[in-house]
Amino acid sequence: MKPRIRTYIDGFDSILNGGIPEGHNVLVVGTPGTMKSSVAYSVLYNNAINNGTKGLYISLEQKRASLFDHMRSLGMSPETVKDRVSVLDLSELRKKMRDAQQDVWIDFLQMYTKSIKKGFDYRLLVLDSLDAVEALAKFDDFRMEFFKLLKWFKSLGLTTFIITEMPGVSSPIMSSPDIWSSFGKHKEDYLADGIVFLKMEKRGDFEVQRRIRCVKMRSVRHDTRYFAMVFDGGRFQVTRIMA
């Protein structure tokens, strides 16, 4: 059995039968406000704290300072793990490289992931977000390019979390019958080794509950049900949904 990467989300690792197999590419899919970035960062943060595993967080849209502020507000101090979790702020580069051609962004991504790996042996990678990569690179053949990108990450021996936006509940796409079988605009969900889906569920007239579901995790016998996800005391926790 492949070594597992624990998510350190209380209760979720047992749902995943121990964690995410090392080397997997996992899509973290969710509607806005479901804490996708926070969940992904918390995986890097907690792995760095608990077992010293190094991680790289690539942000294409949110600035490093803004991300750090947000994480601090959640009780995850970036300073505590500054030598084990690196945040690559590509939004800065986007400003500098306004004239960059579309296809060069993947080259940039590859250059950074490779050169950082040489001096900072990270094993976990968060790419925030796939939609931003798509907007920048404007792939002709998204699926093939995404396939190559995943292959690149695999060749570096990384366990990758790729954050993917899903339209909100008011979007017409959410009422489509396909929504339960598709977690990517270009069927990238078929290429990924795993999919973790986050959504907001309305409860009663006023309350909204965050829910998490492991849709797919290759080579793992996992629970496919929805679980309630709460953030409390600086930690994410999942619990069975009470009817």
Partner 1 sequence: MTPEFVLVLVISVFTLAVLVAGILFLNQGRMKTLFVALHILFLMVNISWLVGRQLHENGLDILTLSSTVMVFPVVAILVLAFFHGRSFTGRIYLPIMIFLPSLGIVYVSVVEAWTSSDLYDHSVFIYYIVFCLAISLAESIAVWLRSSILRKEGYLLVLSLIILLVTGPIHYQELRILSADDFIGPNLGFPLSGVAILMALLRTDHPPVSVKTKRRTQENALRFLPEPGRLHFVSEARPKYSRSIFADELDNGKAGLVLASSGMGQSAFRSRIRNAATIEVSFTNGKDSIRAWDLGRVYYCIRDFASAHRNGIVLVDAFPLLVYNNDISSARELVSSMRSLAKRTDCTFLVPLSLLTSTESSRLVVSGDSMMEFPDVEIKVLEILEAHIGNLSRHLLRKYCRSKGIAIKDLLLEDVPDLALWIMNTLDSLGVRAGDAAMLRNWKNESYSTSLDLMRFCNSDIEEAQRLQADPPFTTESLIPQVVYAGMDVPPGTRTAKATKMSEKAMREGLLLVFLKYFGEAGRFVLARELGELNKRLDSLTVADLIPLADRAQEAMMDFGEIVDIENIRTDMKSKGYRMRDEIVGLVSEGGLA
Give the HSE-up count for residue 216: Cα atoms under 13 Å, Cβ half-sphere.
19
Residues 161 to 200 in contact with partner 1, rule: CB under 8 A = 187, 190-191
Asked if residue 60 lies in contact with residue 132, where contact means CB atoms within 8 angstroms, the answer is: yes
Q: Does 226 participate in binding partner 1 (rule CB under 8 A)? A: no
Separation between Cα atoms, residue 22 and residue 1, nearest integer Å: 10
Residue 100 binds partner 1, judged by CB under 8 A: yes
What is the spatial distance between Cα 61 and Cα 46, in angstroms, rounded to a whole number? Answer: 23
Query: Cα 12 from chain centroid?
Result: 15
Q: What is the CA radius of gyration of the chain?
A: 17
Taking CB under 8 A as the rule, does residue 90 contact partner 1?
yes
Please tell me whether residue 112 binds partner 1 under the rule CB under 8 A: yes
* 53 CA to centre of own chain: 17
Does 96 help bind partner 1 (rule: CB under 8 A)? yes
Q: Is 230 in the site for partner 1 (CB under 8 A)?
A: no
Give residue for tokens 């790996």.
117
Reference 210, options 44, 46, 33, 43; nearest CA is 33
Q: Which is nearer to partner 1, 33 or 157 (CB)?
A: 157
Least separation in angstroms between CB 157 and partner 1 = 13
Taking contact as CB under 8 A, which single stretch among the options 8-16, 103-111, 160-168, 205-213 is the one that binds partner 1? 103-111
Work out whether 138 is an interface residue with partner 1 (CB under 8 A).
no
Q: Is the dihedral of CA 41, 42, 45, 46 positive or negative?
A: negative
Name the one range near partner 1 by CB under 8 A: 4-12, 104-112, 198-206, 235-243: 104-112
Q: Which residues bind partner 1 (CB under 8 A)?
A: 64, 82-83, 86-90, 92-93, 96-97, 99-101, 104, 107-108, 110-112, 114-116, 118-120, 141, 143-144, 147-148, 151, 155, 187, 190-191
